[in-house]
């Protein structure tokens, strides 16, 4: 039968498929040349959060709230295999939020050789250089986006600036495995002013109090090397922008001149998993360091993350350090009601931010913060 498309399925193709299953909400067509599957997960949260903070005028502002959030992810995945061990693969993951928004997690096309090399393009996440373990509820004081820089907020740098899933920029990644050695070279290509998020006073985008301007398309590369030694794995990575003046401020300073370094290690044996992470960013008049440690054992998760932002007086923004301490914990009730892949998670966090420096202007500055929260999460993979 002549194929008019890579993953087009006909009634004849279904009839000759070696297996066809439709159980637990998943449909799979699988034969000697390829497969097509539909799956996903459901995740709904009931949250309590208590934010104790001061605004830019140092007026006390306490905000406690209860809410319910969640989303449904649908995954479409297809793969075509050849006799010599090569493959082509496609994945798309539409994401429907409970607030009515429709988003997208992964959407990529890849090809390579089984157990060897892979070339991937589209929207996805590269190697995780700062795994946080069982993250049921984890936020950081002053930074509601977690992985985006925001003026007037603490920035817990986690080697994510070139990891992927950028707003409008595309992504390309080559990876290959050599027995216990894994190498990866990923790149984010396109507009990256969105990396700086928004400031704390409105919709404007600023860095050290100055307006952020997208001047050119950036090329941010991120090589990773990982090695597995029995139950222990270690990885190192660098991420850096190759295009000068890709993002500038209203004074012409090159904000895209940023380079980050990271090391992560994992030890897993039986029911115990331990992650240790270190990340360091050298940016314009600012150096950020983050250290994290988390443990998962028999459904219990416990973690701690320490972040410090060290500002140079040349920034004309802040002179000194801002420190963020974050503790988080969780527990998983697995296979609830004897239903496989249905779990209920309990999670909580506490985070605080403290200034150890001098404010250099009257713009949006840091404030001492003390935030905490708790969550009940219902999650089902189908």
Residue 336 is encoded by which pair of tokens? 């609830």
What is the token pair recorded at 27?
Answer: 């449909």
Which pLDDT belongs to residue 29? 79
Cα 32–chain centre separation: 35
- What is the pLDDT at residue 115? 87
| Residues 117, 8: Cα–Cα separation, whole Å | 26
pLDDT by 10s per residue, the chain, length 382: 334 343 333 323 332 233 333 334 466 777 777 899 999 999 999 999 987 654 433 434 456 789 999 999 999 999 999 989 999 999 999 999 999 999 999 999 999 999 899 999 999 999 999 999 999 998 876 543 455 788 878 899 999 999 998 888 899 999 999 999 999 999 999 988 888 876 655 567 889 989 999 999 999 999 999 999 999 999 999 999 999 999 999 999 999 999 999 999 999 999 999 999 999 999 999 999 999 999 999 999 999 999 999 999 898 888 999 999 999 999 999 999 999 999 999 999 999 998 888 888 765 466 667 889 999 999 999 8
186 with 125: CB under 8 angstroms? no
In this predicted structure, what is the pLDDT of residue 137? 92
∠253-254-260 over CA atoms, to 5°? 135
Run of H or E residues at 63: strand 60-81
What are the residues whose beta carbons fall under 8 Å from the beta carbon of 56, sequence distance 6 or more?
152, 200, 201, 363, 364, 365, 367
In 3D space, the residue among 69, 137, 197, 199 whose CA is nearest the CA of residue 326 turns out to be 137
- HSE, CB side, 13 Å, CA atoms: give it for residue 32: 3
Helix (H) or strand (E) holding 15: helix 11-16
How distant, in Å, are the alpha carbons of 175, 292, 351 from that of 222? 12, 20, 29
What Cα–Cα distance (Å) separates residue 180 from each residue in 224, 231, 233, 234? 14, 12, 9, 11
Joined together, the tokens standing for residue 11 give: 């009634």
């Amino acid at each position: 039968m002549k194929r008019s498309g890579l993953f087009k399925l006909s009634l004849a193709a279904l009839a000759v498929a070696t297996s066809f299953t439709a159980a637990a909400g998943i449909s799979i067509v699988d034969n000697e040349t390829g497969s097509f599957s539909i799956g996903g997960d459901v995740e709904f949260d009931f949250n309590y959060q208590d934010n104790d903070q001061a605004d830019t005028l140092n007026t006390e502002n306490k905000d406690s709230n209860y809410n319910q959030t969640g989303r449904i992810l649908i995954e479409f995945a297809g793969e075509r295999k050849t006799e010599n061990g090569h493959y082509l693969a496609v994945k798309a993951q539409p994401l429907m939020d409970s607030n009515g928004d429709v988003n997208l997690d992964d959407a990529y096309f890849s090809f390579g050789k089984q157990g060897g090399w892979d070339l991937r393009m589209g929207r996805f996440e590269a190697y995780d250089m700062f795994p946080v373990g069982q993250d049921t509820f984890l936020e950081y004081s002053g930074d509601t986006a977690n992985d985006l820089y925001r003026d007037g907020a603490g920035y817990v740098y986690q080697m994510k600036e070139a990891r992927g899933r950028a707003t409008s920029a595309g992504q390309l990644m080559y990876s290959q495995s050599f027995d216990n050695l894994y190498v990866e070279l990923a790149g984010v290509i396109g507009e990256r002013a969105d990396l700086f998020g928004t400031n704390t006073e409105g919709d404007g985008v600023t860095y050290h109090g100055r307006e952020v301007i997208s001047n050119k398309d950036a090329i941010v590369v991120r090589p990773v090397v990982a090695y597995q030694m029995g139950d222990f794995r270690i990885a190192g990575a660098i991420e850096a922008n190759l295009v000068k003046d890709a993002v500038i401020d209203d004074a012409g300073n090159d904000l895209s001149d940023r380079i980050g370094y990271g090391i992560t290690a994992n030890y897993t044996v039986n029911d115990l998993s331990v992650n240790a992470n270190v990340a360091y960013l050298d940016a314009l008049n600012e150096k950020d360091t983050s250290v994290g440690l988390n443990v998962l054992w028999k459904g219990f998760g416990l973690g701690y993350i320490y972040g410090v932002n060290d500002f140079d007086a040349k920034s004309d923004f802040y002179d000194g350090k801002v420190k963020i301490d974050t503790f988080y914990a969780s527990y998983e009730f697995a296979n609830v009601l004897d239903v496989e892949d249905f779990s209920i998670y309990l999670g909580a966090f506490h985070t605080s931010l403290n200034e150890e420096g001098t404010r250099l202007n009257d713009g949006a500055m840091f404030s001492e913060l003390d935030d905490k929260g708790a969550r009940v999460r219902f999650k089902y993979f189908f």
